Amino acid sequence: MGMRPVFVLAMSAGLGCGLAGCNEGSGVDLGIEAASRPLMMLSVDGVGPLNATTPFNLVRIGQAFQDFNVTEETRFTEDEKYPVITVKQEVEPLLSINPDAREQNIFSIIVHDNKVGNGLGHRIGTRFADIYSYDHTERCVPGMEEWRGKVMCYAPHAHNILYLFEKPPGVDEAAASTDGVAPAPEKMADWMLGAIVWKSPRNRTQTASN
C-alpha cells in the first residue's frame, strides 16, 4: 500500500484607536489595510478554529468555516485513495486538511496562502536563507510522491510545524536532485517557502504512548 505524502513526511498590532483618529493625517487606506490582514492564524496549537481536538468531519469543519467553500475530495497515491477536506476563499485554496489513518481526527493541515497568517512570522515566498542561518538549521528531508523535488524542513523552534521549500526558477532538475538526502543549506539559500504544514500534537502523543 502506498503512503500518503503527509505520512511519508511525518519524520521519526499596535494600540487601538478611534476610526477618525486613525484616518486623520495617517495616509493609510483602511480598506487596503483590512484586506491585507490574515483571515486566520497558524500557530503550534492549530490553524484558525482547527486544533488537535477537531474531528476530521466535513460538517464540523464546514461549520467552522461558514464564510468559505469547504469540500471533501478523494485523492490517490499509488494504490491508495484517501479523503482530503479543502477550504477555499471562492476558488482560491487556503487549506488542505488530511485525516489520520482511521480518518477520524486531523493528522495535518497544509497552508497554501498568506491569507493564513503564520504566528512564527515567516510568509510563503520567503527564501530559505531568510528563515535559517547557516550555523543553525532544522532537520530537512526530501519530498516524496507529489512533493518530489521539494524539501520539507522543521520550522525554527516548532516541532509540529514544517516548511515545504521549492527550488527557484532556473534551477534544473539535476541540480535540484536530492537522491534521498536534502541539499546542503548553502545550496538551498534561494529556495522559496511554498507551503506550511501543521501537524497535530495528538499524533506525537499517540506515538509516544504506543
Give the number of C-alpha atoms closer than 13 A to the C-alpha of residue 197, restricted to the C-beta side. Answer: 24
| 129 closest CA partner among 204, 88, 64, 189 | 189
Alpha-carbon distance of 54 to 70, in angstroms, equals 15
Q: In this structure, are residues 85 and 70 in contact, taking their beta carbons and an 8 Å threshold?
A: yes
In the structure grid, which three cell numbers stand for residue 194, read together?
511554498
Strands 46-47 and 50-51: antiparallel
pLDDT at 49 over 70: yes
Mean pLDDT of the chain: 81
Tens of pLDDT, residue by residue over 103-158, are 999 999 999 999 999 999 999 999 999 999 877 788 899 988 788 889 999 999 89
Tens of pLDDT, residue by residue over 26-41, are 444 544 445 578 999 9
Name residues whose C-beta falls within 8 Å of residue 114's C-beta, 6 or more positions apart in sequence: 38, 123, 124, 125
Q: In this structure, are residues 142 and 151 in contact, taking their beta carbons and an 8 Å threshold?
A: yes
Alpha-carbon distance of 151 to 189, in angstroms, equals 12
In the structure grid, which three cell numbers stand for residue 32, read together?
487596503
Alpha-carbon distance of 196 to 124, in angstroms, equals 8
Work out the burial of residue 110: count CB atoms within 10 Å of its CB; fewer than 13 is exposed, 13-18 middle, 19 or more buried: buried
Alpha-carbon distance of 165 to 152, in angstroms, equals 6
Query: For the residues 30-57, what does the mean pLDDT come to?
Result: 85
Read off the pTM.
0.79
Query: For the residues 44-59, what does the mean pLDDT come to?
Result: 96
Sorted by where each starts, the structural domains of the chain and their CATH numbers stand as 32-209 (2.60.460.10)
Q: In this structure, are residues 113 and 125 in contact, taking their beta carbons and an 8 Å threshold?
A: no
Strands 92-99 and 106-111: antiparallel
